[in-house]
Structure 1
């Protein structure tokens, strides 16, 4: 029997099957990791890539910044297996607000996830990013399946 873990923005989870991790994304980004043999993995849901003031201090368990959220995932992954044994996915990063700036919050969040993967020498197996949609994401730790539902913004 699966147990659902519901993550809000700024939260992360790493654990073993049988669990399903679910979250709702807009401009935020979720990075998923899953190990097929060990049947474990996790998901982080961050709002923005880094703090503007360049400090590292955040409350324990506060993963609203990509830097802290992805560091948590990396640490959990390394405790269980070689990083290259995980399947990784990147989701979200939509343009949810009318933005005239050169790059949107979502674009910056997606770019940060791509940089993180590149630093680790990993590639995303699955990716559904950018656009102007909300997404519901469910990661099943028993199978590694990602269930994704996209919702158009109401005008």
Structure 2
């Protein structure tokens, strides 16, 4: 029998490999929850999800963490029934359009995927994904890799104290659709957008930070989405880190003809997500935001809009033709 030490690790695509590294490097349950939440919302592009723990010896789940779902919706999922119950009992993942939806409960309308979180043969709970971002037409091959990582490495998320159910709240109206003729695209973490083409760029932020730049003279702009302030020692520079992402965005706009004195900036994100350890999440979000403020000041670019911190993620839409930023809070429990 092959020992664990000599087993060959599966080869993942770059985003999945980076996610696995973050997941396995997180020692505390609260940190695992934070990483899982950011991967689901930012890498997979899911606006609504819930992580449920399976209570041994009962016919019910308990709520661990969720985002974007109402209190009533989550409560309706706590009984061990429907597709979520099938996944918890049988250990077979469900993917909309790929596996049967027979037996789905009324509360599972819009379910995109449900995976078991397991260790060996024991199933500890399920992760259920509902609504995806408008730019997502469905789960892609790399999304399935990320969900496989959760199924096999997410069990430590159940070691902490369960979170309270989401608070009752009035429905939040969806932001208006992009005007006709305006290009629409999604910006992943660690990416930069800059273009002469009028565009509406959407991204989802947790403890990550987005910096928008807009040229009021040429009426064009760009957006960066970075994960950490600076690259760790001995690691190659990357636009995943703010110290390179912000200057790179400025340079890209300069190559398009913008002058630095005509640029104005916005700063968004840096939240402490539900389930995160306050001192860890707050420190990361604050460090990201502070790095952005320092660099913008050094570059003499005025910061004219800011929405950072708080306990919830944000969905951001940036229009490059007029510099407008629309924000939607992604509340959860």
TM-score between both structures, scaled by the size of structure 1: 0.88
SS at match of 2:301: coil
SS at match of 2:293: helix
Structure 1 residues 38 and 102: alpha-carbon distance in aligned structure 2, compared to 1, 3 A threshold: closer
Match in the other structure for 2:142: none
Match in the other structure for 1:73: 249
Q: Return 5+ residue gaps in structure 1 as ranges.
A: none
Higher relative contact order (CA 8 A, sep 6+): 1
The answer as to whether partners of 1:17 and 1:39 remain within 8 angstroms in 2 is no
Match in the other structure for 1:5: 185
Deviating above 2 A after TM superposition, structure 1's stretches of 4 or more consecutive aligned residues are 99-103
- Alpha-carbon distance in 1 for matches of 2:325, 2:281: 31
- Which is helix-richer, 1 or 2? 2
Equivalent positions of 1:1-150 (< 5 A) are 1-53=181-233, 55=235, 57-58=236-237, 62-79=238-255, 80-96=257-273, 97-101=276-280, 104-150=283-329
SS at match of 1:125: strand
CA deviation profile, 1:15-64 (whole Å, cap 9, x unmatched): 12321111000100000001123121110000001012055x34xxx521
- Alpha-carbon distance in 2 for matches of 1:54, 1:93: 25
1:103, CA displacement in angstroms?
5.2
1:122, CA displacement in angstroms?
2.3
1:77, CA displacement in angstroms?
2.9
SS at match of 1:38: coil
What RMSD in Å do the two structures reach over aligned CA positions? Answer: 1.8
Size of the aligned set, in residue pairs, is 150
CA deviation profile, 1:65-114 (whole Å, cap 9, x unmatched): 11221121121233322212012100000112223359511010000000
SS at match of 1:48: coil
Q: Return 5+ residue gaps in structure 2 as ranges.
A: 1-180
Report which of the two structures shows the higher radius of gyration computed on alpha carbons: 2
- Alpha-carbon distance in 2 for matches of 1:3, 1:72: 22
TM-score between both structures, scaled by the size of structure 2: 0.43
- Alpha-carbon distance in 2 for matches of 1:20, 1:14: 11
Structure 1 residues 132 and 34: alpha-carbon distance in aligned structure 2, compared to 1, 3 A threshold: same
Structure 1 residues 6 and 103: alpha-carbon distance in aligned structure 2, compared to 1, 3 A threshold: closer
Match in the other structure for 2:3: none
- Alpha-carbon distance in 1 for matches of 2:184, 2:281: 38
CA deviation profile, 1:115-146 (whole Å, cap 9, x unmatched): 10111122211110011111111111122111
Match in the other structure for 1:151: 330
